């Protein structure tokens, strides 16, 4: 992308499909503030902002991450009007790009609360939006939220995921320095390693009555069934439901693993173990008590709950909890990434469950995302052939790169958590 000229970048955006990306707001005063902030961030963070004529906006050291501005005025108006949502929409529209998108976003993601100076903080109330009520994780809306992401196309996800179709952090082998040894050829094994660790945490074995909340494309259900467990797996994604059922039938495990189109709040029965992989992020803060109450209600005496969850520091969760972000608008509507403290406190308030163990492996998620991003980028023509336009493809690259940057800076983490009842 770094070698493209202005004329090679997207020049039109379908206003019917992408109305907020096609629309360029005109907010002169806010654009002036955004321009001033851009100068400040470039100096403070050492970002080489390149203008269309090749000049640098401010002097920076050699080797600084580069942000190429193709349409500076449009960029400033979008950011002035929408803050970080405008920043993302400006990338979707092709107003800017970066030779090393992850490197640039990693610099920006480090201590994001310091990006805006004190004098500009009052302006947050002008452009920071609250999540819309229509995207709450209620029973009526949760299925629609899930469909907007997971029902895009099974073929799309197959283009960049490994053969297990596992869409969550893998656990790689580690080197002598403790860093994950990640490569694409070993991604499937790393995903199975992650699943097996979670099943071990829940003590899933022969005869275990297992409930999975959030099926994905069925790999965990398959591995649990292969251990001899009796699996009920819940999903709200119709595309995932269909493919997971086909995979389970092809593996000869239909007698042990059942996939249901069912909201977690509607599940019935008693289970010796409950597992859920990176599903709590989609629940929404106001529904966390219902989520944990469900876990408590269906868990048999002596049972164990094993969760894999993306987390963020508690203070950042509180600060961002009522903010409508670019990720919520375009990628994961209705969700909120919890903190470990929020998980523990919600469980204590709403249930008899207590958080008894937590293992962190954030660097492994950064590497998982790197492998997904590289494969998605390399297969861009195949993504386009499925009907996904350039605005979508830029959106997806930004989502994967931004997420990777979050884990590389420690702004985000991922953990496997064990909840059990007090003795």
Residue 111 reports pLDDT greater than 90 = no
Token couple for 58: 């401010």
CB 94 within 8 A of CB 70: yes
DSSP assignment of 310-339, as one string?
A: EE--HHHHHHHTT---HHHHHTSTT--PPP
Q: How many CB atoms lie within 10 A of CB 95?
A: 26
Residue 68 reports pLDDT greater than 60 = yes
At 1, is the pLDDT very low, low, confident or very high (cuts 50, 70, 90)?
very low
Please tell me the distance from the alpha carbon of residue 223 to that of residue 226, in angstroms, as a whole number. 5
Instruction: Tell me the average pLDDT across 248-255.
Output: 98
Residue 382 reports pLDDT greater than 50 = yes
pLDDT for the residue numbered 119: 56
Residue 224 reports pLDDT greater than 50 = yes
pLDDT for the residue numbered 128: 75
Q: How many CB atoms lie within 10 A of CB 423?
A: 4
Domain boundaries, the chain: 6-128, 134-421
For 387, counting Cβ atoms within 10 Å of its Cβ (0-12 exposed, 13-18 middle, 19+ buried), the class is exposed
Please tell me the distance from the alpha carbon of residue 379 to that of residue 369, in angstroms, as a whole number. 15
Please tell me the distance from the alpha carbon of residue 18 to that of residue 89, in angstroms, as a whole number. 10
Structurally, what CATH architecture does the domain formed by 134-421 represent?
A: 3-Layer(aba) Sandwich (3.40)
- CA torsion 228→219→298→148, rounded to 10°? -160
Strands (E), 81-229: 96-97, 209-213
Residue 22 reports pLDDT greater than 80 = yes
Token couple for 123: 């302006």
Instruction: Tell me the average pLDDT across 83-92.
Output: 96
Q: Alpha-carbon torsion 142, 144, 145, 150, what sign?
A: positive
pLDDT for the residue numbered 298: 98
At 5, is the pLDDT very low, low, confident or very high (cuts 50, 70, 90)?
very low
Residue 339 reports pLDDT greater than 90 = yes
Q: How many residues does the chain have?
A: 423
Q: Which range, of 2-11, 128-137, 306-315, 358-367, averages the lowest pLDDT?
A: 2-11
pTM attached to this predicted model: 0.94
Residue 121 reports pLDDT greater than 70 = no
Please write the tens of the pLDDT for every residue from 277-294: 999 999 999 999 999 999
At 6, is the pLDDT very low, low, confident or very high (cuts 50, 70, 90)?
very low
Residue 385 reports pLDDT greater than 90 = yes
Please tell me the distance from the alpha carbon of residue 335 to that of residue 229, in angstroms, as a whole number. 31
Strand 413-421 with 299-311, pairing: antiparallel
For 197, counting Cβ atoms within 10 Å of its Cβ (0-12 exposed, 13-18 middle, 19+ buried), the class is middle
Please tell me the distance from the alpha carbon of residue 58 to that of residue 46, in angstroms, as a whole number. 9
Please tell me the distance from the alpha carbon of residue 101 to that of residue 111, in angstroms, as a whole number. 18
Please tell me the distance from the alpha carbon of residue 374 to that of residue 107, in angstroms, as a whole number. 20
Residue 99 reports pLDDT greater than 60 = yes
Question: What region does 12 belong to: left with phi over 0, alpha with psi -120 to 50, or beta?
Answer: beta
């Amino acid at each position: 992308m770094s070698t493209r000229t202005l004329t090679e970048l997207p020049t039109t955006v379908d206003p019917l499909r992408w109305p907020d990306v096609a629309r360029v707001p005109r907010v002169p005063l806010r654009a002036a503030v955004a321009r001033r902030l851009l100068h400040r961030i470039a100096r403070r963070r050492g970002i080489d902002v390149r203008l269309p004529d090749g000049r640098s906006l401010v002097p920076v050291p050699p080797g600084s991450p580069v942000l190429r501005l193709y349409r500076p005025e449009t960029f400033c108006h979008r950011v002035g009007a929408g803050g970080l949502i405008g920043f993302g929409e400006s990338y979707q529209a092709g107003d800017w790009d970066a030779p090393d998108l992850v490197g640039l976003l990693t610099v920006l993601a480090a201590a994001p609360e310091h990006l805006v100076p004190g004098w500009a903080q009052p302006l947050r109330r002008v452009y920071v939006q609250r999540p819309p009520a229509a995207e709450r994780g209620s029973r009526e809306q949760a299925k629609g939220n899930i469909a907007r992401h997971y029902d895009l196309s099974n073929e799309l996800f197959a283009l960049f995921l490994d053969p297990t179709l596992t869409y969550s952090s893998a656990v790689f082998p580690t080197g002598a320095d403790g860093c994950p040894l990640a490569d694409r050829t070993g991604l499937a094994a790393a995903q199975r390693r992650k699943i097996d660790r979670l099943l071990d945490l829940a003590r899933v074995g022969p005869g275990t009555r297992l409930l999975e909340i959030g099926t994905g494309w069925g790999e965990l259900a398959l591995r649990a069934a292969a251990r001899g467990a009796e699996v009920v797996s819940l999903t709200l994604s119709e595309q995932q439901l269909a493919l997971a059922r086909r995979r389970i039938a092809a593996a000869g495990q239909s007698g042990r693993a059942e996939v249901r189109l069912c909201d977690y709040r509607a599940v019935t029965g008693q289970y010796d173990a409950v597992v859920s992989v990176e599903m709590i992020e989609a629940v929404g803060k106001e529904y966390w008590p219902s989520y944990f109450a469900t876990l408590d209600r269906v868990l048999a005496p002596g049972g164990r709950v094993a969760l894999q969850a993306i987390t963020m520091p508690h203070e950042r969760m509180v600060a961002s909890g009522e903010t409508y972000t670019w990720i919520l608008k375009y990628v994961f509507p209705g969700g909120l990434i919890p903190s470990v403290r929020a998980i523990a406190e919600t469980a204590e308030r709403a249930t008899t469950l207590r958080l008894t163990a937590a293992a962190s492996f954030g660097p492994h998620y950064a590497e998982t995302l790197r492998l997904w991003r590289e494969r998605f980028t390399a297969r861009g023509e195949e993504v386009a052939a499925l009907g996904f336009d350039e605005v979508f493809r830029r959106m997806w690259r930004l989502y994967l790169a931004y997420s990777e940057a979050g884990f590389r800076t420690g702004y985000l983490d991922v953990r496997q958590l064990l909840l059990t009842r007090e003795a």
